[in-house]
């Protein structure tokens, strides 16, 4: 289970001013200009393609992932952003929540193949605290994703902080088995941001043959030589990377690149995990354990986690104080609704606005329907839970007219009714009704949910119409 929590000690953050940097795209080889811009609260991250008509915006959303080959590609309405992960990792690692990323190409500049320069740009811009509190999803249960084809898996478990551990093993003597662990996000800037991307020689050859990595050079990627370097390959690499001489050093790395860390490959994989999981769109409090991670498994896990989070968010029970006087008691409810006992299933209205209502029903053993449903094991009928929702919805609708006593609500349609847990005597049902669309021509569309002790027990979509009473 995952649930939403407002961390009152943490405010949302954006950058203090715009900041720009430029470089080349790893695949296109074209010069790219990228600008970080401050954004409002709850904006999140989004890319803006300034090189296209209308300057289309692509939100950093895992559901927009269309490709994970050599990087994570997002696409919305035919417009894409390639290799988004290094930029997003920098924003998450610097604990910045809301930023617009303007870019005049389909891919951010590769820089040195890490997040280092993006982090430096954020530091240069400065970080500004915002007013609204930051929401976090607290991991309470173990959630996993396993990819049978690659043998990769990612698991998240409860933790006090956002932690990430990566374990990589590509079955080569050159790279070997490597691990990396980040205990807190505060470590990202100094211990992970400068970890550069890496590739194997056979992959480089394939990419060159397919006309890719036009912006690559030996300074923005660690190349592990996993095969014999032929003269023909040497010449191709010299031409591609504009080098007079290329050699393999004793550590098995092409040319004269010096590793920042012995486990730089594992650290970069950790960076990628952070960047890819940024696409979930919310802060996480939990420990991620990634075994042989890659963009595909990262984003598939991200989609699974995003779906769970969204479902939990939709099904969060309303926070109500039962010790406070209600907005409407049962006598006031009966002035609005025509229902009377034993068919009145709403005891209190705790909260009401133009678009939502929260009501309460105390379930007692005295309910007459328990005589037949069921005598040996009394259960509150699901159909009556829906009826109680409808009554709360009726109060919400009639609250929109000045003379509710002159109107009736007739429910025309019930969709997507679901029953999760049985309701029994002694339970207190909390009902939450929200408008799915504005009231038009007396017709209203609502989403209803019922909760007991914070657990969703039933839900349904209701369509109703207001009708004026006929005079006798």
- Cis check: omega of the bond before 374, within 30 degrees of 0: yes
Distance CA 8, CA 132 (A): 9
- The number of beta carbons lying within 10 Å of the beta carbon of residue 211 is 9
Residues 330-468: name the CATH superfamily.
Hotdog Thioesterase (3.10.129.10)
Q: What is the pLDDT of residue 223?
A: 76
Distance CA 39, CA 16 (A): 10
Distance CA 283, CA 5 (A): 10
**In terms of C-beta distances under 8 Å and separation of at least 24 residues, what long-range contacts does 298-301 make, across chains too?**
298/68, 298/72, 298/154, 298/272, 298/273, 299/62, 299/65, 299/68, 299/72, 300/145, 300/147, 301/145, 301/154, 301/277
Provide CATH code, domain 2-196+261-314: 3.30.230.20
* DSSP per-residue codes, 372-424: TS-SSS----HHHHHHHHHHHHHHHHHTTSS-GGGEEEEEEEEEEEEE-S---
Residue 217 tokens read as 């050079």
Distance CA 203, CA 58 (A): 29
The residues annotated with a catalytic role in the active site are 295, 373
- The number of beta carbons lying within 10 Å of the beta carbon of residue 226 is 17
Sheet containing 356-362: order of strands:
348-352, 356-362, 428-440, 443-452, 455-468, 407-419
Distance CA 82, CA 105 (A): 9
Considering the chain, tell me which residue range(s) the CATH 3.30.230.20 domain(s) occupy: 2-196+261-314
Average pLDDT, the chain: 89
Share of the chain above pLDDT 90, in %: 67
Distance CA 440, CA 86 (A): 47
| Nearest by Cα to 90 from 125, 57, 40, 66 | 125
Helix/strand/coil percentages in the chain, nearest 5: 25, 35, 40
Task: Print pLDDT tens along the chain (472 aa).
Answer: 444 555 545 899 999 999 999 998 876 778 999 999 999 999 999 999 999 999 999 999 999 999 998 899 999 999 999 999 999 999 999 999 999 999 999 999 999 889 999 999 999 999 999 999 998 999 989 999 999 999 999 999 999 999 999 999 877 777 778 999 999 999 999 999 999 988 777 666 666 666 655 555 555 677 777 667 777 777 777 776 677 777 666 666 766 467 889 899 999 999 999 999 999 999 999 999 999 999 999 999 999 999 999 888 777 888 888 999 999 999 999 999 999 999 999 999 999 998 999 999 999 999 999 989 998 899 999 999 999 999 999 999 998 888 888 889 898 899 999 999 999 999 999 999 999 988 887 888 999 999 999 889 999 999 999 888 887 6
Q: For the segment 294-348, what is each residue's pLDDT rounded down to a tens digit? A: 999 999 999 999 999 988 877 788 888 899 999 999 999 999 999 999 999 999 9
- Cα torsion angle, 98, 88, 128, 24, sign: negative
The model carries a pTM of 0.72
- Check if the beta carbon of residue 365 is closer than 8 Å to that of residue 379: no
End-to-end CA distance of the chain: 55
| Nearest by Cα to 60 from 36, 87, 37 | 87
Distance CA 419, CA 423 (A): 10
């Amino acid at each position: 289970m995952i649930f939403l929590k407002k961390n009152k000690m943490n405010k949302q953050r954006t950058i203090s001013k715009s900041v720009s940097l430029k470089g080349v795209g790893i695949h296109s080889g074209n010069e790219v200009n990228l600008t970080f811009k401050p954004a409002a609260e709850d904006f999140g991250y989004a890319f803006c393609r300034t090189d296209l008509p209308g300057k289309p915006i692509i939100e950093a959303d895992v559901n927009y992932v269309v490709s994970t080959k050599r990087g994570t590609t997002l696409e919305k309405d035919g417009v894409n952003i390639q290799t988004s992960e290094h930029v997003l990792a920098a924003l998450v690692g610097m604990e910045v929540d809301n930023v617009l990323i303007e870019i005049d190409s389909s891919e951010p500049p590769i820089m040195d193949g890490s997040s280092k320069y993006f982090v430096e740009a954020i530091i240069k811009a400065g970080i500004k605290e915002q007013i609204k509190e930051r929401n976090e999803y607290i991991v309470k249960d173990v959630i996993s994703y396993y990819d049978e084809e690659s043998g990769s898996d990612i698991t998240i478990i409860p933790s006090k902080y956002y932690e990430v551990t990566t374990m990589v093993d590509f079955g080569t003597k050159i790279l070997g088995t490597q691990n990396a662990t980040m205990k807190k996000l505060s470590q990202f800037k100094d211990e992970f941001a400068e970890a550069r991307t890496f590739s194997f020689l056979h992959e480089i050859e394939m990419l060159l043959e397919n006309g890719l990595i036009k912006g690559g050079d030996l300074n923005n990627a660690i190349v592990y030589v996993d095969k014999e370097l032929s003269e023909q390959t040497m010449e191709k690499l010299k031409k591609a990377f504009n080098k007079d001489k290329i050699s393999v050093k004793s550590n098995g790395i092409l040319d004269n690149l010096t590793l920042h860390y012995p486990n730089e490959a594992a650290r970069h994989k950790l960076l990628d995990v952070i960047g890819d999981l940024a696409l979930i769109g919310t802060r996480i409090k939990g420990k991620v354990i990634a075994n042989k991670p890659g963009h595909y498994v990262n984003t598939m896990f991200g989609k699974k986690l995003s779906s769970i989070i969204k479902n939990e968010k939709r099904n969060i029970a309303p926070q109500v104080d039962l010790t406070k006087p209600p907005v409407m008691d049962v006598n006031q409810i009966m002035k609005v609704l025509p229902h009377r006992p034993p068919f009145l299933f709403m005891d209190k209205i705790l909260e009401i606005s133009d678009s939502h209502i929260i009501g309460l029903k105390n379930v007692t053993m005295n309910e007459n329907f328990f005589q037949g449903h069921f005598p040996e094991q009394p259960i509150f009928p699901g159909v009556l839970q829906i009826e109680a929702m409808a009554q709360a919805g009726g109060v919400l609708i009639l609250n929109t007219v000045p003379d509710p006593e002159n109107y009736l609500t007739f429910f025309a349609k019930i969709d997507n009714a679901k029953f999760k847990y049985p309701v029994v005597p002694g339970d207190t049902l909390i009902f939450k009704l929200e408008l799915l669309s504005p009231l038009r021509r007396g017709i209203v569309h609502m989403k209803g949910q019922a909760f007991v002790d914070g657990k969703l027990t039933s839900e349904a979509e209701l369509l109703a119409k207001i009708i004026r009473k006929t005079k006798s």
